[in-house]
Amino acid sequence: MNVEAKPPAEGILAGPDSAPAPWQRDVFDVLKAAKVRQMSFVPDAGHSRLIAMFEADPEVRTTVLSTEEEGVALAAGAWLGGERSVLLMQSSGVGNCINMLSLMETCRFPFLTLVTMRGEWAEFNPWQVPMSRATAPVFEAIGVKVMRVEHADDAAETVEAAAALAFEGEQRLAVLFSQRMLGRKKWVAK
């Protein structure tokens, strides 16, 4: 059975070949204005336009990760070398990061991650649900402040505030994009 995930063709998430939604463009602009020079990611459909914008930007080094905690360690190294980094992942990857986040708190490294939520709204896959429920509590337990974005209109302002708090306030920040805002995942049979 060949089943392939395709982002929604309309609504808040544009199709794979079309332009980013306005809020995604704004989030990208905010991260560029915050002087982010490295971006790492484990792919997620909800982040696909943001990933594409970064990959098209010659100023930003993008790194595809084999597991999310690599992006935490990468951010530490970037800061040691004088650069700012952002990690893009989905909620199922947050659990992978937990021990590595000790590094960020112990050394007071700035840390900014944008997390697309799965398993919390119109989710068809039960395997996404437990980590979705655990995402905010485990971040908070390991010392990462959580901000949630429920509406597209708030996305850029929230990411801007989180980036300032992370890179200027030397804090650890996770911005969670709600699944309701991102839209229901659509599956297309080939």
Partner 1 sequence: MSATTMKLERREVVRELMKDRGDLVVIAGLGSPGYDLFAAGDHHGNFYLWGAMGGAAMIGLGLAFAQRNRPVLVLTGDGEQLMGLGSLATVAAQKPENLSIVVLDNGHYAETGMQKSHTGLGIDLHRMAEAAGFKAREVVAMQEVAALRREIAQATGGPRFATIRISAEDTPRALSERDGVFQKTRFRTYLGIAMP
Q: Which residues bind partner 1 (CB under 8 A)?
A: 37-38, 61, 63-67, 69-83, 85, 99-100, 102-103, 106-110, 167-168, 170
Distance, in Å, from the CA atom of 165 to the CA atom of 108, rounded to the nearest integer, reads: 12
> Judged by CB, which is closer to partner 1: 84, or 185?
84
Distance, in Å, from the CA atom of 150 to the CA atom of 154, rounded to the nearest integer, reads: 7
Q: Which phi and psi (to 5°) does residue 166 adopt?
A: -70, -60
Least separation in angstroms between CB 165 and partner 1 = 12
Tokens of 80: 């040691």
Distance, in Å, from the CA atom of 53 to the CA atom of 60, rounded to the nearest integer, reads: 10
> Judged by CB, which is closer to partner 1: 105, or 123?
105
Least separation in angstroms between CB 63 and partner 1 = 6
Distance, in Å, from the CA atom of 169 to the CA atom of 112, rounded to the nearest integer, reads: 12
Least separation in angstroms between CB 33 and partner 1 = 15
> Judged by CB, which is closer to partner 1: 12, or 73?
73
